[in-house]
Chains A and B, each alone.
Chain A
Amino acid sequence: MTKIVLRPLQRHVAAARDGDRAPLARSAIALLAVLLGCAMLVSLNSGALEIQALKVMASAFDPPSTLSGEDLRDRIVFFQVRLPRVCLGALVGASLAVSGAVMQGLFRNPLADPGIIGVSSGAGLGAAGFIILGQSWLAPVAALLGVFSLPVSAFVGALLVTSLLYRIGTSDGLSSVATMLLAGIAISALAMSMVGLLIFYADDQQLRDLTFWNLGSLAGASWEKVATCALIVSVALVVALSLSRGLNALFLGEAAAGHLGIRVQRLKTLAIVAVAAATGASVAVSVGIGFVGIVVPHLLRLTIGPDHRYLLPASALLGAVMLILADTVSRIVVAPAELPIGILTALAGAPFFLWILLRRRGLTGL
């Protein structure tokens, strides 16, 4: 055991002390993958109904006729309720964390997060717009995109806000925290007021739909949602990973990144599209899960460093783990009722955000 785990770990820590955190980062990613498996198992095992996840999985291919009534019930709960929920949690967590990491790299600022600077509000406006106008003005969109209409509308909203923010919040590729956060507040307020206008125009049925979506937790998970979300999120993740070299060069600033052979304009466009797609997909599933995009990349940078080649995959994994665990806790603490998961992530995330802010203020006078 010591030979397999501890010796290499000691070597990696020594390498990190010499300034090379890559080996440490690679083992951290392996560890996080194992952790993700464990988190999924724990989550699948917990809930109002006692289910032995391993037992259900072991008998997954037995014909239904051989199962007792209880086993059959367990199987249905497991495959139709818990498993899609855990998968959706993993997808949403991964996409939130990676959006945060990419956005921070792009804005060259550790406090950029889709939730805080208003990108999620933009996505929310897009989604609300579709829910309310989907049968009238946006009917052609619904006909064209089918199940993808909601995430795509959210994506469009997120895209608009991100590009607007980038224009307002940066000059020469440098973003000031203050400008960015203030612009985010204004844009969020604008998006909220437009959602308000939409509500004003909505009929009763649309209001019900909107309210349910707004309450949205991972509880409404279905395989259809998982599939739509997975498709969009995996494309966004692949794009984000392909940008890691460029985002690394951006550590030095835009001009220097250009001198290193990076097509900076293309990098920025792709990064914004990837962030908007990932945020749109996760907001369409569930609004109001904040701070994952700040906490996860920040914790990882402290240990494995900011190299995006490792930071992005590690963020995806840790984001998935954190969200699955938060969802599990939210199901257990007030069982059989459920705590909205956004409350939990904000309870942990908001103080963390303040802590980063204070540390930065000490360093740079903000």
Chain B
Amino acid sequence: MMAMETNLSVTGLAVRLTGKTIVSDVTFAAHAGKVCTIVGPNGSGKSTLLKAITGETGHDGEVRLNARPLGRYPPRELAEVRAVLPQHTQLSFPLTVKEVVRLGLQNTPLPLAEAQGRIGEALDRVDMAGFEGRAYQSLSGGEQQRVQLARVLCQVWQPKAGDQPRWLILDEPISSLDIRHQLLIMDVARDFADRGGGVLCVLHDLNLTAMYADQVLVMKNGRLLADGPVADVYRDDLISDAFDFPLKIGSLPVADVPFLLPQAAEGRLPAR
């Protein structure tokens, strides 16, 4: 019990907006070195939960990051410990790709050459190398999302600061990406966790969750329906209940990775 607490813990979290309860009674802990994903149907409160965890939305209950309550972090220090990738980012003025990514380095005074190098490397990791001079507004939705991820990566470049893990909080980071870039971006998140950082991520894709998540949180109607490793959570009854839809989970024969195919759902198979 005396071990240094390096997790993101949420206790009794509830969010009420204009008298309506959006999220209630959510308690869990995500751990550094792991990828934790939040899944659930539309309107189940995933994004609201994430907004409460990042401090964007007022809430009841407590959120602790590396054992310290969120409210006790000065804003600047919090920004050095965790970075947040929003679902959509609308720029107010025309910036170049490089200028957008550089915003992630605001809190890190670096010599010019090193800053340039880091920006280049971050863009390389999200497969946007060579786009530095492009106008951000001229990019496609998926490209913009990757540029934003590069910015967020610059903000928490090293996954650990001393023995303190840093955190990546991602709200649907792959929602507008093609399949190659979906895998690529999840690889980036996986790598961040493997090097000691923590990743908390809202995902819609249950197959990618099965591939990448160490811990899965299933939300339904603003409550936490399940919390555990993929093997425990991916059960026909549980997933079908979560999405109110009869779903069947298969398993790849070569490696024991569960998968879901919409075609395999009950009543969707062509009659033989």
Contacts and interface: CB of A to CB of B under 8 A. Distances in A.
Interface of A: 16-21, 105, 108-110, 245, 248-253, 255-256, 258-263, 301, 305-307
Contact of B92 (A16, A109, A261): A109
Given A251-B103, A253-B86, A307-B99, A258 B93 contact: no
- Greatest chain A CB density within 10 A among B93, B97, B100 is at B93
A248 B95 CA distance: 10
Which 3 A-B pairs have CB atoms at the shortest separation, nearest pair first?
Answer: A261-B79, A19-B98, A108-B92
Nearest to A259: B84
A17 B78 CA distance: 34
B133 A261 contact: no
B171 to A, nearest CB: 11
B86 A262 contact: no
B90 interface: yes
A252 B79 contact: no
Interface of B: 51, 54-56, 75-80, 83-84, 86, 89-100, 103-104, 106-107, 116, 132-134, 155
A18 B78 CA distance: 32
B106 A248 contact: yes
A184 B86 CA distance: 32
Contact of A261 (B80, B86, B97, B98): B80
A271 B95 CA distance: 22
B99 A18 contact: no
Contacts of A16: 133
A19 B92 contact: no
Contacts of A249: 103, 106
16 contacts: A18-B132, A19-B132, A19-B133, A20-B96, A20-B98, A20-B116, A20-B132, A21-B96, A109-B92, A250-B92, A251-B103, A253-B89, A255-B86, A305-B95, A306-B94, A306-B95
Contacts of B134: 19
A109 B104 CA distance: 22
A252 B100 CA distance: 9
B140 to A, nearest CB: 16
A263 B83 CA distance: 15
Given A19-B96, A306-B93, A261 B54 contact: no
Nearest to A302: B94
B132 A259 contact: no
B106 A245 contact: yes
A248 B89 contact: no
Given A19-B99, A255-B86, A261-B80, A301 B93 contact: yes
A258 B56 CA distance: 8
Contacts of A108: 92-93
A259 B106 contact: no
Contact of B95 (A110, A251, A256): A251
